[in-house]
Amino acid sequence: MLRSCPGALDRHLRAFVPLLLLGLLSGCSSVSYYSQLASGQWQLLRARQPVVEVVADPTRNATLRQHLAQAQKARAFASQQLKLPDNRSYRVYADIGRPFVLWNVFATPEFSLEPQTHCFPIAGCVAYRGYYQQGAARGAAALQKQQGMDVYVGGVEAYSTLGWFDDPILNTMLGWGDERLATLIFHELAHQRVYVQDDTEFNESFATFVEQEGTRQWRAARGLAPLPVGAERQREQFVGLVLACRARLQALYAQPLSNAAMRAGKQAEFERLRRDYWQLRDTQWAGDKRFDAWINAPMNNAKLLPFGLYDQWVPGFAGLFAEVGGDWQAFYERVEVLGALPYEQRREALRKSSVHP
């Protein structure tokens, strides 16, 4: 029996989620793919329990209860101070028994940084395809590789249903500590606050800015020192290296070169990225190796996609936030205005507003 009653609309719809999704999507290319989406979402809905019940239950794991109690403080801060939606999302908990809730498959052509997009009735078109089973994601990636695509598979800790259901805190969100859990809550609630169909870069960069600024304010509210400048600066520099590599690759792919020359140039750019990283690490970071595993693993266009999606327009949103004097409500209103603009005008406005470190 379900222990949670997460809201009237959600309560009435959840039993029909699999049929609802399949009814909407059965005309698309792969019924089996959408079946696993419906089944995976149904699993989340069935597993939810109110956080207050878990925290109050002395038979539950003490560490879990402590994490959830702290998460509820961050959840309250999100609505009260960051002006994010005040609903039952992230006030319920679900343990799904695996390390990631989804595995996203990113794919691009061999000589392009344009993602292969997939379109859905609610979310619009996005630059990845999600699978609830890692094996299914790897299988889909293998098929894409056979077709000559660059492919990258990445695990996902959390996602938002954009307010259609009461999104839970998942066990997958707990592995990196209380602060990381808070940042995930801020990020996913941001998607509920503003979401523009068919523009993954805009949506993810917006949510990343809310996550980063929200975390700074959350630390300040608890009397904690700002995050170490060195650590934050390192991440900014690393992202900058990757985005610079993306820009050089885009210029390369625009040239009238043979496939062999294009392929050689592509590999040269990946090697340059590694050299630039190693030099930065060894000369400015005192040998900190936090990004070594990523940089030393095989490289392709698709692996660079999340950086363009999640980070590209963060400086633009930072500029908008500064323009409204840090007023969250005014900021969201400005973002909504931007979201209503045509695609290229939206980007030009973000470029003009950009604040760079």
Q: What is the pLDDT of residues 145-196, one digit of tens each?
A: 999 999 999 999 988 888 889 999 999 999 889 999 999 999 999 999 999 9
DSSP string, 186-255: HHHHHHHH---TT-HHHHHHHHHHHHHHHHHHHHHHTTPPPPPHHHHHHHHHHHHHHHHHHHHHHHHHTS
CA dihedral sign, ordered 294, 295, 298, 302: positive
Q: What pLDDT does residue 118 have?
A: 87
Residue type for position 81: Q
Q: In what order do the strands lie in the sheet with 129-131?
A: 129-131, 102-108, 150-156
Domain stop point among 221, 238, 261: 221
CA dihedral sign, ordered 184, 96, 308, 287: positive
Q: What pLDDT does residue 307 have?
A: 84
Is there a single domain that holds both residue 18 and residue 120?
Answer: yes
Is there a single domain that holds both residue 126 and residue 60?
Answer: yes
In a domain, 3, yes or no: no
Model pLDDT for residues 58-104, shown as the tens digit of each residue? 999 999 999 999 999 999 999 999 999 999 999 999 999 999 999 99
Is there a single domain that holds both residue 299 and residue 335?
Answer: yes
Is there a single domain that holds both residue 188 and residue 324?
Answer: no
In a domain, 315, yes or no: yes
In a domain, 1, yes or no: no
Is there a single domain that holds both residue 208 and residue 265?
Answer: no
Is there a single domain that holds both residue 98 and residue 178?
Answer: yes
CA dihedral sign, ordered 199, 205, 207, 210: negative
Q: What pLDDT does residue 22 have?
A: 37
Is there a single domain that holds both residue 241 and residue 192?
Answer: no
pLDDT at 281 over 50: yes
Number of domains making up the chain:
2
Is there a single domain that holds both residue 174 and residue 243?
Answer: no
Is there a single domain that holds both residue 61 and residue 190?
Answer: yes
Domain stop point among 197, 221, 245: 221
Question: Domain range holding 246?
Answer: 229-353
Domain stop point among 221, 239, 272: 221
Is there a single domain that holds both residue 68 and residue 156?
Answer: yes
Task: Report helix, strand or coil for 117.
Answer: coil
List the one residue out of 209, 208, 275, 217 whose CA is nearest residue 78. Answer: 217
In a domain, 258, yes or no: yes
